[in-house]
Amino acid sequence: MDIRGILKSNKELLVKSAAFSIPLLKAHAVRRYLKQVSDKASFISVYAEKLLDLPATQIVSQQRKCCISKPKNGPFSLMMNHSTKCNYRCPICNITEANRRFPDHPVNSISISDFEAFKPIFHNSERIGFMGGLGESLLNTDFEEIVKFLRMNFYADLSITTNGSLLNDQKIKALIANKFRSVDISLHAITKETYSKLQSGSLERVLHNIEILIKMRNALNGDRPKILINYALNALNLMETFKMIDFVAENDISFLGLYHFLDYQGGVRGEISLQRNPEHANNIIDELYSHAREKKVVHKLPITKPYFKTKKDLTLLSKMKETTVGHCNHPWEFLVFKGAYTEKDTYYVGVCGAFTPLKMNYRRYIDKYGSVRLADTWNHPIFQYIRKTCNGQNGGFSQNPLCRYCQSPIRRYYKETDNYKNNEQKRKNVKMLFDELHKNVTFLPDIQGIEIFTEANPPEAE
């Protein structure tokens, strides 16, 4: 049983853990939450969940303090996609442009035998997500075997992000039998017209599949998987979010993940970003939360309203940046394997979603080493360097240029409005990071199948 399970089944321990944890929360953070959350009831319900999560978080931050550069026990949360094939061509997604530029690209769908070689990486992961990079993991022909292998060998929360179109009886059975914690369905519209502008395929089919998934899960009296919806707010879908909230209220949906559309190089560009008129969007967001409260589902929306930054906010934040040091925990918690779109049997590897400095041809690697070693991935000297330099002054190291840019508000603004500018800036900062890294890290091991990837983004994301 994991630590959450132990706490849930032991009320006294839970109360003690809460008493221990509360003083650790800074008063201003609580005040900030209270200001932002939509109502007290939802604050209490989400805060109770957060308390359950705290012991795990404490361990991670303790790990961060003790082992500043080299946490030995592996990633807490792991993300990996299992196929770069996709049955959709969503206009919002990088895939549209990637297909135009690389019409003969290979398909990477990892086989169960290659996947088993990653075993050492999964041992300490509490969360394993089928997500990262382009593609639909449900198209991997070994999908059922892969999830069974994970379930039989590790005790981790499993989740998958999918367009939902391929959820048939067999796949749903696999998700239920292997106790997936959640299925995150990318559903950025609830009308046929908007769905076809942002995504592709049939909205009716996806809604039908959600209905079947709920029925099959409930028939077994199960509470897993929870169904979550990913909904990227933009100018095309903003007003129909009211209707999406009604859908959430009328169906057994656990969470409506409202976030911001990002200006990748798909068929729709920054023109649909709400960052162009943030005041208007923020007013509508207030109305959406009121509507959700009336429908009694406000607790199913993000606890912090997904406001857009106004020009005034951005000016203020960019001034603050001069004097404050940002904070990022990702390199101590995450490991990401993003399937390469343009090269066979290859993953880009990073300790955060923003930067993947290793390119791993797992066929060549496994041929030589048999299984994937933590020392070559999670504890690779590049990742140790990132850990030393991502959060400012640390044992003589100053913050590296990429993390400085990443933590600045301007990056998010560019990502939402003009990703070309974001990529241009990122490229410069990644180059500076490698210049500094080569001065400070004298030994970079030669590992068969693993190359150091010095570009800001994989080609499909450029």
- Closer to ligand SF4 at the Cβ: 281 or 403? 403
Per CB under 6 A, contacts with ligand SAM among 129-148 are: 131, 134, 136
- Contact between 261 and ligand SF4 by CB under 6 A: the answer reads no
The reply on whether position 461 binds ligand SAM by CB under 6 A is no
Please choose which of ligand SF4, ligand SAM, none residue 298 contacts, taking the beta carbon within 5 to 8 angstroms, the exact cut-off set by kind. Answer: none
Binding-site string for ligand SF4 from residue 66 to residue 105, where x marks contact by CB under 6 A and - marks none: --------------------x-xxx--x-x----------
**Cβ at position 399, least distance to ligand SF4 in Å:** 9
- Interface pick for ligand SF4 out of 178, 273, 407, 417 (rule CB under 6 A): 407
User: In the stretch 83-102, what mask flags binding to ligand SAM with x, by CB under 6 A?
Assistant: ---x-----xx---------
- The span of 10-18, 114-122, 324-332, 337-345 binding ligand SF4 (CB under 6 A) equals 324-332
Contact with ligand SAM (CB under 6 A): which of 162, 165, 361, 391?
Answer: 162
CB of 94 to ligand SAM, least distance (A): 7
Q: Which residue is nearest to ligand SAM (CB)?
A: 186
203 touches ligand SAM (CB under 6 A): no
**Which of 230, 356, 399, 422 touches ligand SAM by CB under 6 A?**
230
The minimum distance between CB 230 and ligand SAM, in angstroms, equals 4
| Residues 165-194, interacting with ligand SAM (CB under 6 A) | 186
Q: How many residues bind ligand SAM (CB under 6 A)?
A: 16
Residue from 121, 166, 262, 285 touching ligand SAM (CB under 6 A): that is 262
CA distances to 56, 66, 431 from 62, rounded to whole Å, are 10, 6, 32
Q: Can you name the residues that pair with 334 across neighbouring β-strands?
A: 77
Q: Which residues bind ligand SF4 (CB under 6 A)?
A: 86, 88-90, 93, 95, 134-136, 163, 186, 199, 328, 330-331, 352, 354-355, 386, 390, 402-403, 406-407
